[in-house]
Structure 1
């Protein structure tokens, strides 16, 4: 049986799964587990070609809260102008969260 950190580290591997339902489940597990080492991977999923995966990643980052802000700001600074709005909206959602 795996301990919590080992379980969450293994869950990160599922973010590369080709099945969107598996990826969404992994995102939820990592976000609810507060696994901040996954933040860069979740930010990367914001550019995924599958809308359900993008939504799950966005919701997961909001759930992770302040821990996601540096990675979101970094991604916004490197993003194409037409993508920056996404990162700004997520930072706003995090700031507005209780």
Structure 2
């Protein structure tokens, strides 16, 4: 069974699907962080240097192992040559 088939099978389970859906925003943020850094052509070390922090802090941020402040996200984006904005989206009536 490959990863795609495994994911499809796992998401047939309602509990797994709920947990997966609940993590989508976090996965999206991580993807955006990695995309910014990749487009900027920077390493974690280079971003850390620009932020005056350690590579391990950047690694934790990019793995979703921290709870970054708005300021930290702004600084990370700026270090990569980007800006960020907050967007409020209304959830559907099902709570998804």
TM-score bracket, normalised by the shorter chain, equals: under 0.3
More helix per residue: 1 or 2? Answer: 1
With normalisation by structure 2, the TM-score equals 0.24
Greater Rg by CA: 2
